[in-house]
């Protein structure tokens, strides 16, 4: 008569090995999906971050030159008409005319509603643009004031303005 071997129950080394392999395969699969989703939905804040970083010292020098000008700005937004205006004055309070002011407007957290702006001279240092159908909430406006003709135009003043359109 043959004697039956006792059946061992419980966890042995093979169970632990397969459990660890399954755990790490699962973690790797989930991480891969998350990395793919992150990369495919967000391309980064700066289109060319490396070159932008190289120009950082130039930007600091431009900001120093702007500060030396002593220009001041006053902005106003009329929610009823959608007219945004900016007035520039020099250190002595004289209006600054003969500038070409352009820029962009967009939401702080997304670029879906971004659009370019060109402000028209309104006299006495004032420049205006109409923003039709502007939705309620926060908006960031970046302005660039330049001087000179089309061939030799240089930016002399930069500004960022946070706009709040109330409902």
Q: Cβ(116)–Cβ(104) under 8 Å?
A: yes
Angle at 102 between CA 100 and CA 103, to 5 degrees: 160
Q: What local confidence, expressed as pLDDT, does residue 155 receive?
A: 82
**Residue 162: partners with Cβ closer than 8 Å, 6 or more residues away:** 108, 138, 139, 140, 141
Q: What is the tens place of the pLDDT at every residue in 101-128?
A: 999 999 988 888 899 999 999 988 899 9
Q: What is the tens place of the pLDDT at every residue in 54-106?
A: 888 888 988 999 889 899 999 999 888 889 999 999 999 899 888 899 999 99
The share of the chain scoring above pLDDT 70, in percent, equals 94
pTM over 0.85: no
């Amino acid at each position: 008569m043959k004697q039956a071997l006792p059946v061992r129950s419980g966890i042995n080394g093979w169970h632990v090995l397969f459990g660890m392999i399954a755990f790490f395969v699962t973690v790797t699969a989930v991480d891969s999906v998350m990395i793919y989703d992150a990369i495919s939905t967000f391309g980064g804040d700066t289109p060319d971050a490396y070159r932008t970083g190289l120009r950082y010292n130039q930007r600091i020098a431009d900001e120093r030159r702007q500060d030396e000008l002593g220009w001041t700005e006053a902005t106003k937004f009329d929610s009823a008409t959608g007219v945004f205006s900016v007035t520039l004055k020099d250190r002595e309070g004289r209006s600054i005319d003969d500038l070409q002011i352009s820029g962009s407007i967009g939401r702080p957290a997304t670029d879906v509603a971004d659009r370019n702006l060109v402000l028209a001279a309104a006299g006495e240092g004032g420049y205006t643009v109409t923003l039709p159908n502007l939705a309620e909430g926060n908006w960031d406006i970046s302005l660039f004031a330049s001087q000179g003709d089309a061939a030799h135009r240089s930016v002399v003043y930069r500004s960022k303005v946070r706009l709040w359109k109330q409902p």
